[in-house]
Structure 1
Amino acid sequence: MALDFLKWVKSRPGFQASDEVYSYFVDYFGRRKDFKATHEVLVDGRGVTEVKSLEALVDRLVRAGRPTQAVALFESMEKDYGFPRNVDALKLIVSGLCERGYASYAEKMVKSLANEFFPDEFICDALIKGWCVDGKLEEVKRLVDEMYRGGFEETEDAMKLFSRIREWGCYPMKYIFGPSLYQAARLGEGDEMIDMMKSAGYGDALDKKAYYDFLKILCGIERIDHAMSVFTKMKEDGCEPGMKTYDLLMGKLCAHGRLDKANALYKEAESNGLPVEPKAYKVDPRFAKKRPTAVKKEKKRETLPEKMARKRRSLRKLRLSFVKKPKRMMRRAF
């Protein structure tokens, strides 16, 4: 009925359906958990629907207890509904998830998209709020420590200033690139900074120590995959990694429970003639695989029909126990 009403209203002369109108219909169908109708409304409003409709959809998905669909929406919304897949949409979905206590889903989403949309101060604050709503203070402390190590706010300001230097007719010197490289690591722009240094003729500044400091920052903010890609680039540039670099990466890989890659690095360091020795590394509890806890089966209360059937079976067995069983007679041969 509501869909028919929407079609009828759109057909009226002088009426122009707006994003706000569509958001009301999305909210109405979402409240009824009729997300098939919601999909039809958004498909119909493609090109008209904007932030309000997206906000209504995310809100209703999260309220309905469907955080997985809210996360998957980010990948399909541009293709299905024409919503732009950008940082603002990511912030909206993360904020919606965190307000309802789905911080674990939001954090997994943010980490999976970190190479494309690196989390800023707003996203980190939303995640902290989400863990607070969920009542998990240990996760809040962990996230605050990661933010402190990352230094997001000051880093963004520094990088904006660095990018404007060329506009003012100044070209950064060798000693400016170094600190900027380490700050860029926090924002996921370190690879671009390395290329910029090479194009500016300061590639020789990327020595073993510079790469080690860069990798140390990446490992400090738990970006181990990015650290491994920079490690590969380091070797491609002809910069041979030392014992400290291998030890840093092996320790972090073991902390993440990725023992196969840590062993591969150990063998690589050994083949390069470095004095590596077997060492005990601790696995970080945050990344350790949790054993599935056995759920205790509660004793199901017997219904009256089940109880009567059990009694009938018992009585039948009791009656049969008094019946004299016939002896087996030997057959005579004729």
Structure 2
Amino acid sequence: MRFMMHVLLKPAWKRSWSKAMSAQNLQIVAFSQYSTLLPISVSPQLQELCSVVVSTVGGLDDLEFSLNKFKDSLTSSLVAQAIDSSKHEAHTRRLLRFFLWSSKNLSHSLENKDYNHALRVFAEKNDYTAMDILMEDLKKEGRVMDAETFGLVADTLVKLGKEDQALGVFKNLDKYKCSIDEFTVTAIINALCSKGHAKRAEGVVWHHRDKITGAKPCIYRSLLYGWSVQRNVKEARRIIKEMKANGVTPDLLCYNTFLRCLCERNLRHNPSGLVPEALNVMMEMRSCRVFPTPISYNILLSCLGKTRRVKESCQILETMTNGGCDPDWVSYYLVAKVLFLSGRFGKGKDIVDQMIGKGLMPNHKFYYSLIGILCGVERVNHALELFEKMKKNSMGGYGPVYDVLIPKLCTGGNFEKGRELWDEATSMGIILQCSEDVLDPSITQVYKPTKPEKISLVDSSVAKSPHKVKKFVRKMKMRKKYAATKKKKKFTAN
């Protein structure tokens, strides 16, 4: 279920952060100067060249031998089109050898944009070796690296755990004939903060503060995100205070980032402080005329669900409704999930009905995840009821649900219902991933839930409670003492 939570919540939060960064020129998105799709009329020469690059037959020397027949008709545009057309199918080593071979045969025809384009392709494929080789060639030949290319290269290097190399390229941008300006500074800061290297990013800010005077808001957002990745509430709070002191008003994205940092920190170290501290942050938001949204409350609900705090989750959902912030379907999902996991199935069904009654149309993953939870806690009948609600709302995406329910019903002995669902799915043209053999009682083993065996406490001092163990030890000591006294009296009498 952690995977489903990731699908339902975290990407949405990260997407909103990324969109805001790109709006402020902080999120560096690599762009291609060439189309990644083949044109409608593809020349036979391009088709043949792509087939040679993509081929898996032979080694790299064989590839170069096959490419030699294209020497006379090779052009820079043909090289770019071949890389774009085969970058998803060909191995990066073959792409690299093809480009190096092209640069050797078209040394004067290949332009800076061709080198930058190839470098961006290798960065997108996370191939550090190919990037390193191409950057060295780019530096030796005195070619210019675009600022956009550097942004993608820096981001890729940090993702690969090579933040030192990313900083090294940034410090030596003059060797790549790329200027250190507002764009490149924000690019390296954003790359470092995306993986939590906020301290090193602040070092870049300190040394190049004269170049980022117009980018302060996005720089603060990036630093705040960097500290939140580390769950460092103290430093994240410091960034918020610096923003206010420098006349930059924290927006909703900043407060949501800080709220996530606070909640995830308390989740590990102070679960009882989740609700009060989060609500204090929301009060601070309102005082700054920044009003919490369902995303803000969902951050708190997500952490409450991870600690199985059922009562607080229901109270937060009620607070949202009474406070004028209408819950979205993710809010209802988070509350229904913790209710089902804690065995409150009736209350969980009421929450789902309440969501449907308000006219909210959730994603099909909402039903798929909750049905998976109900099957996991052996409540298949409740899962079937929820599936009927899903079909009633014509959500679509029924295939994965059938793949979960049919095997679960059959392993529970309900082959008749499993066959019914199978026939229902096939009649709708749904291709199921589970095998039809699961419907055969002679093949599928039925697992009946059994009560846990009682542990015998006879002659097992380990299994007894601490009180009984102490009583047993005291009794044994008294017996030994009585035996020793009796033996001493007998010896004296003799």
Give the TM-score band, short-chain normalised: 0.3 to 0.5
Q: TM-score, normalised by structure 2?
A: 0.27
